[in-house]
Amino acid sequence: MYQYDDYDRALVKERVAQFRDQVARYQAEELSEEEFLPLRLQNGLYLQKHAYMLRVAIPYGVLSTKQLRALADIGDRYDKGYGHFTTRQNIQYNWVKLSKVPDILAYLAEHDMHAIQTSGNVVRNVTTEAFAGVAEDEVYDPRIFAEIIRQWSTINPEFLFLPRKFKIAVSATEEDRAAVRIHDVGLYLHRDESEALYFKVMVGGGLGRTPYISKLLNDRLPWCDLLSYLEAILRVFNRYGRRDSKYKARIKILVNTLGIDAFKQEVEQEFQQIAKEPNRLTDSELSRIASQFLPAVYQRLDETDLGFATRLQNNEAFSNWYNLNVRKHKVSGYRSVVISTKFPNNIPGDVTSEQMRGIADLAERFGFGEVRVTHEQNLVLPDVPNTALFQVWMQLNELGLGVSNHTLLSDMIVCPGASYCNLATAHSFPVAEQVVQVFSLEEQQDIGPVSMNLSGCINSCAHHHIANIGMLGLNKSQTDHYQITLGGRQGTQSRLGKVLGPAIAESELPQAIRMLFDVYRRHREVKESFIQVVDRIGLAPFKDALYQEKSV
Amino acid sequence: MKNTITLVDGEASVDLNDPWELVLNQECSGQYCVEPSAIWLSRPASDRGAAVLIEQEQELHDIQPYLQDIRLVALMFKDFKDGRAYSLAYLLRTRFGYKGELRAVGDVLRDQLSLMRQCGFTSFAIKEGKDPYDALKGIKGLSVTYSSSVSSPSPLFRRVRRY
């Protein structure tokens, strides 16, 4: 992972001192509530229903085991013994005290971490896929560009009071496992005929009450001009993005009001006028950043191992887990392990301090001391030799983290909901649990891969729009209701789900979801996934199943 | 303007006797009027003062031809949370080559001064009711900046040797 140098370290330390002073001035009433608000947000601090919430940055979801242990310590010392991993690959603590926050930030800084720009109307944590650097299908390691963007956007003085938050994601694969197209700016890394890197730049994605999949802004941006191009986009956004309504302030609204062609013209015009030399990325900067990532030293292993193969044959539970939660690796004999943080054992994204330490142990014993966070709120051990997989699985089971449900219906993205969040209208976690409980693991395996996300309000933190089945909590006549969307997906061919019909009462939701899967099972052909069936037969049969009874 | 911080050769100090006055609606008298650029532009060339005020939503094309003759441009922060003036400051300095004094006026607070300085502002009319001596502490900011800016035109990776 990226190793801080003295500059990185000085910046986070000075930032802690700056914020400590701001907190003290706020507590001494030298800073008003209004003046303090953006300062605390830019340091990751929200005020939630019951307490302050601190969101700590995990740049592009990469953690060293030392850092993971530090996060576990923070959970013990300043929270209730756990943390919640988010769809921006960050972690948040729900029960912190304002007076302790400077100490938490100082502790983070000691471990080369921070909470800078995890909130506020700024460029947020840059995300990429959890398998960056170990995926067999990537054209280049996207973490290197994500780190370059992280540095460029961190306390960039022109862009700290944007109309609204600004999210950037990078992907270097054809599949796109980073939900790039729901980002304000999405970057697809490609190679041209002569192997030179370039970006396809997408703009104007975002969910919330007006969801959009991003549009193509530039189909061939040379990698070296990335920073000037981002600068052009952000300057246009900063100057012309709407500021009169929070809900119309994201860049997606500007893009769609102007139209992509006119928006593109604005950006091109700005880009042409920027003197590009100062910010032009060089080969040496690229290799310097790459070298800061300290590449793992892999052993020469055979792709198959007799002991491992025997285990797979003789142990069905292990083999199930292997098939679902273990991914191919670019190096022979290695695999990446997806650790499920989901129901039935866990609350989606919630991981206890004890579990964090257990995962850190595993990453040290069997990996290279690195852990990743996925945007689906799971954790990943990126480099596990196949000979160690059985032991890893046994250990994960002991930690309550060995559930074989990656990509299955219980691998849900769920927001914290009204139990914590001021904005939420619905209590997401218990409802998601009730839905999942209806299906045994065997049944889930029979249904196969499907994404099912649940958001507690229209802000759509759980990305329900791009789930195969999306559930959105609404408050309707005293009881919580859920609107169901169908057909959404992430990836290069992202699509927004369509609303099936009137919202369903909370108590009827589990059965409604069961009906959808019954329709799927009636219609599926061999090896056809849920989303493939939706594509083939359309929404009507699902609608009929769900609403027929009521209309009779 | 009372309570103004001025940067001279990189050194910031409080200037309690700053002569410039914002003149929004009434007639301008004297040589230290800062008036809205639209009013300034509507005057015959011989009647124009040495300073203009630009609002955050304004375009800069109209005023651009006259920038070399202007001594002070004031950029208005109606609300410190509205960051448009940072981009205007960048444009004035980097694209239009404005060399005169660039002043932040309006909701100008200690915790944003270093950002303003980095975007090319050289003086700061601190919001009424705030202590300018306290605000002075906000000029410096952090010692490390990654990105390029008006005040350091190269990004960190070109400014220093990093290992």
Tokens coding A194:
């002569």
Name which of B82, B88, B154 is nearest A278 (Cβ-Cβ).
B154
* Residue pairs spanning A and B at CB distance below 8 A: 96
Q: Is B100 exposed, middle or buried (0-12, 13-18, 19+ CB in 10 A)?
A: middle
| A35 close contact with B: CB closer than 8 A | yes
Q: What is the dihedral of CA A152, A154, A156, A161, to 10 degrees?
A: 130
pTM of full prediction above 0.95: yes
- Residues B50-97 pLDDT 10s: 999 999 999 999 999 999 999 999 999 999 999 999 999 999 999 999
- Residues A360-397 pLDDT 10s: 999 999 999 999 999 999 999 999 999 999 999 999 99
Residues A417-551, CATH architecture: 2-Layer Sandwich (3.30)
Residue in chain B closest to A3 (alpha carbons) equals B163
Task: Please give, one letter per residue, the 3-state secondary structure of A214-277.
Answer: CEEEEEEEEHHHHHHHHHHHHHHHHHHCCCCCHHHCCHHHHHHHHCHHHHHHHHHHHHHHCCCC
Mean pLDDT over residues A458-483, rounded? 92
- Residues A309-339 pLDDT 10s: 999 999 999 999 999 999 999 999 999 999 9
CB contact residues (below 8 A), chain B span 55-114, against chain A: 80-84, 86-88, 90, 94-95, 109, 111-112, 114
- Residues B116-155 pLDDT 10s: 999 999 999 999 999 999 999 999 999 999 999 999 999 9
Structure-token match 């300043």, residue found: A78
Name which of B115, B142, B148 is nearest A11 (Cβ-Cβ).
B142
Specify the pLDDT at position A57.
Answer: 98
Residue in chain B closest to A39 (alpha carbons) equals B111
Confidence of residue B30 (pLDDT cuts 50, 70, 90): confident
Report the CATH number of the A306-398 domain.
3.90.480.20
Report the CATH number of the A142-291 domain.
3.30.413.10
| A294 close contact with B: CB closer than 8 A | no
Specify the pLDDT at position A422.
Answer: 83
Specify the pLDDT at position A479.
Answer: 86
Question: Is A7 within 8 Å of B162 when comparing Cβ atoms?
Answer: yes
**Taken in order B24, B26, B32, B38, is the CA torsion positive or negative?**
positive
Question: Is B82 within 8 Å of A35 when comparing Cβ atoms?
Answer: no
Name which of A18, A157, A243 is nearest B149 (Cβ-Cβ).
A157
Task: Determine what percent of chain A is predicted with pLDDT higher than 90.
Answer: 94
Confidence of residue A135 (pLDDT cuts 50, 70, 90): very high
Task: Determine what percent of chain A is predicted with pLDDT higher than 70.
Answer: 99
- Residues A114-128 pLDDT 10s: 999 999 999 999 999
Question: Is B115 within 8 Å of A160 when comparing Cβ atoms?
Answer: yes
**Taken in order A100, A103, A108, A114, is the CA torsion positive or negative?**
positive
Element (H, E) at A16: helix A6-27
- In the predicted structure, residue A476 carries a pLDDT above the cut 90: no
Q: Do domains A6-110 and A142-291 have the same CATH topology?
A: no
- In the predicted structure, residue A34 carries a pLDDT above the cut 50: yes
Determine the Cα–Cα distance for residues A115 and A262; give it in Å rounded to an integer.
36
DSSP A503: P
The count of domains in chain B is: 1
Task: Determine what percent of chain B is predicted with pLDDT higher than 90.
Answer: 90
**Mutate which of A126, A147, A155 to disrupt the B interface (most B C-beta within 10 Å)?**
A155
Strands A45-47 and A52-56: antiparallel
- In the predicted structure, residue A483 carries a pLDDT above the cut 60: yes
Give Cα A404 to chain centroid, integer Å: 20
Q: Is A251 exposed, middle or buried (0-12, 13-18, 19+ CB in 10 A)?
A: buried
Question: Is A156 within 8 Å of B146 when comparing Cβ atoms?
Answer: yes
- In the predicted structure, residue A3 carries a pLDDT above the cut 90: yes
Strands A91-96 and A82-85: antiparallel
Domain regions of chain A by residue span: 6-110, 142-291, 306-398, 417-551
- In the predicted structure, residue A552 carries a pLDDT above the cut 60: no
Q: Which residues on B lie below 8 Å from A157 (Cβ)?
A: 86, 114-116, 118-119, 145, 147, 149
The residue that leads in pLDDT, A303 or B108, is B108
Question: Is B148 within 8 Å of A38 when comparing Cβ atoms?
Answer: no
Mean pLDDT, chain A, as a whole number? Answer: 96
Q: Which residues on B lie below 8 Å from A236 (Cβ)?
A: none
Which fold would CATH assign to domain A6-110? Alpha-Beta Plaits (3.30.70)
Radius of gyration for the alpha carbons in chain B, expressed in angstroms and rounded: 16
Confidence of residue B28 (pLDDT cuts 50, 70, 90): confident
CATH number of the domain to which B54 belongs: 3.40.50
Residue A381 and residue A392 in contact, taking contact as beta carbons nearer than 8 Å:
yes
Tokens coding A524:
């599926």
- In the predicted structure, residue A550 carries a pLDDT above the cut 70: no
Specify the pLDDT at position A549.
Answer: 63
Tokens coding A186:
């999405």
Specify the pLDDT at position B99.
Answer: 97
* Exposed e or buried b per residue across A184-214, where buried means at least 16 C-beta atoms within 10 angstroms of its C-beta: bbbbbbbeeeeeebbbbbbbbbbbbeebbbb
Domain around B113: 4-159
